[in-house]
């Protein structure tokens, strides 16, 4: 039986599967403020602006990169962020990648909001057998926020089957997500992190965090690490460059 989160993501995927032209027409009709993140790694949803406050901390080798308002020369690899004019509200983003010696738009994401929920609808551009470039829905994301504006959950689903029709796409999906708990002073206490394919729920971690006197994260521990494993009972210090107030 599907969980509520899985059902919601599948519903989003079905809702937007063939809606690129409609979404894009609305998107390009607006004016935006821009920001950039060069050479950012794509596996973090939104790159430097990934909604997860800790994913780049608990995943080894992950880096958010930096956001800048200006770049020198053309963007060949990385993100272009589109903000509502005069606001810091992110409305969407593009991701450019190198294919051989050519830089191409690889992904475009549209961000939709309703009540306390935020949805990313991400299309990838692929070349068909006829040589045409077509947008294919690749990923949907749901973020939920509490009345204080704190993120409480971050779930996303992506498919390995692009341009194969919605039914086959949904047969080849993977879910990942995080849920967050805060103390009375709004400091992050722990994060439950899960990653699985349908009917194969094998990976679940719960990370406990420690803060310094300034409220910055300084270390974490995976309390579900198996006894006898290298992670069991081990507290990992957080690099100074990644210490932040959460």
To which residue do tokens 């690129």 refer?
20
What is the spatial distance between Cα 80 and Cα 69, in angstroms, rounded to a whole number?
10
pLDDT, mean of residues 212-236 = 88
Q: Which of the four pLDDT bands, split at 50, 70 and 90, describes residue 40?
A: low
Q: What is the pLDDT of residues 156-187, one digit of tens each?
A: 999 988 877 888 888 888 888 899 999 988 89
pLDDT at res. 131 = 81
pLDDT at res. 98 = 82
What is the spatial distance between Cα 162 and Cα 181, in angstroms, rounded to a whole number?
35
Q: Is the per-residue pLDDT at 4 higher than 90?
A: no
pLDDT at res. 41 = 66
Beta bridge partners of 217: 211
Question: How many CA atoms lie within 13 Å of 194's alpha carbon, on the beta-carbon side?
Answer: 20
User: What single DSSP character describes residue 245?
Assistant: B
Q: Is the per-residue pLDDT at 141 higher than 60?
A: yes
Cβ–Cβ < 8 Å for 148, 186 = yes
- Cβ neighbors of 20 (< 8 A, separation 6 or more) are 123, 135, 137
pLDDT at res. 228 = 82
pLDDT, mean of residues 199-211 = 79
pLDDT, mean of residues 120-138 = 90
Annotate 217-234 with DSSP letters as a single string. EEEEEETTPPTTSTTTTP
pLDDT, mean of residues 130-140 = 91
pLDDT, mean of residues 140-145 = 95
Q: Coil, strand, or helix at residue 27?
A: helix
Instruction: Give whole-number Cα distances, 66 to 72, 186, 199, in Å.
Output: 14, 25, 37
What is the spatial distance between Cα 151 and Cα 229, in angstroms, rounded to a whole number?
31
Cβ–Cβ < 8 Å for 16, 137 = yes
* Distance spanning both ends of the chain, measured CA to CA: 34
Q: Is the per-residue pLDDT at 118 higher than 80?
A: yes
Nearest to 4 by CA among 175, 189, 200, 193: 175
Q: Is the per-residue pLDDT at 22 higher than 50?
A: yes
């Amino acid at each position: 039986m599907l969980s509520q989160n899985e059902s919601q993501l599948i519903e989003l995927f079905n809702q937007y599967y063939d809606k690129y032209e409609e979404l894009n027409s609305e998107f390009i009709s607006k004016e935006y403020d821009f920001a950039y993140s060069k050479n950012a790694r794509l596996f973090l949803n939104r790159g430097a602006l990934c909604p997860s406050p800790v994913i780049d901390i608990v995943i080894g080798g992950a880096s958010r990169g930096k956001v800048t308002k200006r770049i020198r020369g053309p963007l060949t690899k990385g993100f272009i962020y589109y903000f509502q004019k005069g606001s810091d509200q992110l409305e969407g983003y593009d991701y450019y990648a190198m294919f051989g010696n050519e830089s191409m738009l690889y992904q475009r994401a549209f961000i939709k909001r309703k009540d306390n929920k935020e949805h990313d609808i991400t299309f990838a551009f692929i070349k068909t057998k006829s040589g045409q470039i077509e947008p294919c829905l690749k990923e949907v994301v749901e973020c939920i926020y509490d009345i204080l504006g704190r993120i409480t959950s971050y779930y996303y689903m992506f498919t390995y089957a692009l341009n194969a029709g919605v039914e086959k796409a949904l047969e080849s999906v993977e879910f990942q997500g995080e849920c967050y708990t805060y103390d009375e002073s709004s400091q992050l206490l722990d994060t439950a992190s899960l990653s699985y394919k349908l009917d194969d729920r094998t990976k679940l971690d719960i990370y406990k965090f420690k803060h310094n006197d300034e409220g910055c994260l300084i270390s974490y521990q995976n309390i579900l690490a198996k006894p006898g494993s290298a992670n069991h009972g081990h507290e990992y210090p957080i690099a100074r460059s990644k210490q932040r107030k959460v």
